[in-house]
Structures are given as structure tokens and as C-alpha cells.
Amino acid sequence: MTAVCGWSSTAVKSPRTPDCLDDALRLTDLAGAALAECRRGRNTRHLLTGLLRQSVFGRLAGYEDVNGADRLAHDPAMRAVVDRRGLHRLAASTSQMGRFETAWLTSEANLAVLADLSGAWIDQVHACKPQATIVHDMDSSVSETYAAQEGSAYNGHFGCTCYHPLFVFNQFGDLERCALRPGNVHSADGWRELLEPVIARYRGRMKRRYFRGDAAFANPEVYELLEAEGYKYTIRLPANSILQKSIAWLLKRPIGRPPHEVRRYYASFSYRAGSWTMPRRVVAKVEWHPEELYPRVGFIVTNMARPVERVVTFYNQRGTAEQWIKEGKNAIAWTRLSSHRFAANTVRLQLHALAYNLANFVRTLALPEAVKDWSLTTLRQLVKIGARVVRHSRSVISQMAEVAVPRALFQTILGTIAALRPLPPARC
């Protein structure tokens, strides 16, 4: 969707062919069937599904808001994305996209659909690639604001005026659900409203279900919900004098000369805080680092029966959620929440989440082994790539610059996506 610098003989079909991942999994069609039509009158030139495709694919290509819609309306690839009939009319303009994102989608019904849509998309992926284990990581982040926007507030932890969104990821990097919150709320504020729909979707579907969270989610209500639902969990526990007393023998400096390497010690014990209804297992890790006077101590509350080292290793893997949040900021720019109204910015965050998930689906489902570790920023080469469009009476051919994505790699990806399509019903 950028200016063309040069072409090779590589030719592929229009983006709205069955080789498109969106078509193979029927992702945006799910939204088109669920979104409520808020427009009135006869002049509704674009279907809601097409407008949603333009919003999502535009964000994938690096256009994080609607400012570039007038130019993208003439782009052949975007016109093919929006309209299944190909290149016969322009895509939506800036004013049309602005009304779509800040007016039509901000209705209560459509906001609820958008919040559920990421989970529905992930269910489509799991239908193609069944899983027996699911791991959920919950974490909050920061989206800086730059004006007197609704819900914007100063957050002392981040040291800026911001929004404070909350996210739930799975172990594959898919964003299960997200919520936009005012900037001055606690990191775990609204955790139940975000987590319960995710738990409900997986109830009775997965053999093994896990949850990881940092110290912000060290709350007995969180433990009780997870235990009632059959989840295994590891959650960081803030240190206190009672916990430190339980491992006092590990907090004494080892006898002898200070080591030149890090020394780690582990412990496991039963602990019951005053607000808990029963005792729970707590795992402790103590690290003595060279040239440091005091040890580094961490506590984890868990209901897992694994050995201590494996519990700590499993918890440490939640750091990948922070990496996925970073990718969402850099590749999808989901911190670009520039509307004045809080509801409109909520819509924008959900649209960014859909764009992020679609890109991550390509990475986890379609990329061959040689490039499976591509970042989402690198993956944008498959979306925002120069091409020459040649139209014939019955076909549209895109000739792309092979220097960006080799022909063999592109054909492999298209073949993998095509294989994801369900088989047509057999004829009698």
C-alpha cells in the first residue's frame, strides 16, 4: 500500500481471495454479523464489515488513525480489502471512517461486540489448531495522553498523564481481551470484568488451564475464582515480615568469600494471610549477586504441586506478556488514542487489538519455520509492500517487489493460509 519502487515477475491474487487469512478463518465476517447497524437512510455505501476491514488492515499497514483514509481510499489493495468485488469503487473516506469509529461503534451494543470479538477470533484459530493447554497472563500498561481527554489522569507510577489499559494474553501471544481504564486506577482495577469472560470461554474446553500475574493481582478474590474454576496459578506475592521470617536462614550471607557467580536458593512453605480463608503454598527464591550487600528475594503464591524450581521458571515466563505489549505499542501503535471521548478511545483500543491479533495469527499459523520468529514490525512487510496492479477482465494481478519478500516465501505463506480453509461439504 505504499508507492511502488520497482517490480518483479512475482504475481499473486487480490488480497480478498481465499488465500487471505481473514477469509480463510472468516474473522471479519463474524463481526459483520454481530455489529449493530446504526446508520440511517439510503446512503450507506459501505457495509459495516468492509469498514471494519479498512480499520483493521489500515492499522496493520501502519496507519493508526483515520487521517490517511482519503489517500488509502484510492489504494488498490485497500479497495480490494474493503469490497469483495475488487477495485470497482473507492474505499471509505476520512469523514466516513471517523463516523464509523467515533459514532457508530461507540454504541453500547457495538462496544460489547468489539470487546468479545478478539476471543471469538481466537476460538476460530483454536478450531483449526486445537489446543489442550491454555496459559493466561494478565498485565497492565500505559498509554500516554496529550490533552484534556476524558478519563485521562496523572499516574504516579508511570510519571505521566495517561490511560491505564489492562490486557489478558495467552501463551501464543494472542490478545484474549483488553479494557481501557482511566489513568489513575490501580493496576488490578476491573480485573474480574476482564478475566471472567475469558474463563467462561474456556470452561470445559481445555484439559489444563493456567494463570500468571504480578503482585498487583495478589488478591484472595483472584485466588478463590481461579481455584473454583480449576485453574493452576502463580502470582507474585508482596514481601512482608512474616514471609521473610519463614525463610530467615536463607537471608543470612553465606559463609566464606563472596562468590563470583549468582547463587540461588529456593524454599516452599504454607502461609495464610489475615484476609485468606485458608493457607496456601508460597514459593520463595533468594538470589545472592556478586558485589551486592543484600539478597534479592521474591515470593510466589501458587496452587501448583510442581517442584520449587519449576514453579519459579513457569512464573518467570510471564515476562513474555510484557514483550507482546511492547510489540503492540511499536508495530500496531495501540497507544495512539487521540480522540477526546473515552468511548471513542475504547473503540480505537479494541480495533488495535484486532489488528494485533490478525498479525499474530499470521505469525503463529502461516509463517514457515525459517521466519517464525519475525517480529510484528517485520511482519508488516507482508501487508505494506509496494506492488503494481494489473487488471484484466476476469482477474487482478499484483506484481510485488521481490526484494522485500522472496517469491518462494510468499507462495509458501499463501499455501499455508489456503490449507486453513475448511473443506467444502461433500456432494451426495
Determine the straight-line distance between the first and last CA of the chain, rounded to whole angstroms.
Answer: 44
DSSP letter at 189 equals: T
Residue at grid coordinates 479498512: 54
Range name among 109-113, 378-382, 417-421 with the lowest pLDDT average: 378-382
What pLDDT, on a 0 to 100 scale, did the predictor assign at position 297?
96
For 303, the grid coordinates are 496452587
Judge whether residue 14 has pLDDT over 60.
Answer: no
Long-range Cβ contacts of 29-37 (<8 Å, 24+ apart): 30/117, 30/120, 30/121, 30/124, 31/113, 31/114, 31/117, 34/113, 34/117, 35/105, 35/110, 35/113, 36/107, 36/109, 36/110, 36/113
Q: Read off the pLDDT of residues 346-398 as tens digits, 9 standing for 90 and up.
A: 999 999 999 999 999 999 999 998 888 888 888 887 777 777 878 777 777 77
Give CA separation, 353 vs 77, 119, 179, 263, 335, in Å. 22, 11, 10, 41, 11
* Beta-bridge partners for 233: 211
d(CA 409, CA 428): 38
By the 8 A CB rule, do 19 and 37 touch? Answer: no
What pLDDT, on a 0 to 100 scale, did the predictor assign at position 194?
97
The candidate with the shortest Cα–Cα distance to 4, out of 298, 388, 375, is 388
What pLDDT, on a 0 to 100 scale, did the predictor assign at position 86?
53
Judge whether residue 8 has pLDDT over 60.
Answer: no
Q: What letter represents residue 281's amino acid?
A: R
d(CA 161, CA 142): 9
Q: What letter represents residue 374's amino acid?
A: W
d(CA 203, CA 80): 39
Q: Read off the pLDDT of residues 31-50 as tens digits, 9 standing for 90 and up.
A: 877 887 666 555 555 678 88
Judge whether residue 420 has pLDDT over 80.
Answer: yes
Task: Please give the residue that has the higher pLDDT: either 167 or 422.
Answer: 167
What is the rounded radius of gyration, in angstroms, for the C-alpha atoms of the chain? 25
Judge whether residue 427 has pLDDT over 90.
Answer: no
What sign for the dihedral angle of Cα 243, 246, 248, 251?
negative
d(CA 32, CA 51): 9
Judge whether residue 195 has pLDDT over 70.
Answer: yes
By the 8 A CB rule, do 333 and 352 touch? Answer: yes
What pLDDT, on a 0 to 100 scale, did the predictor assign at position 15?
43
Judge whether residue 326 has pLDDT over 90.
Answer: yes
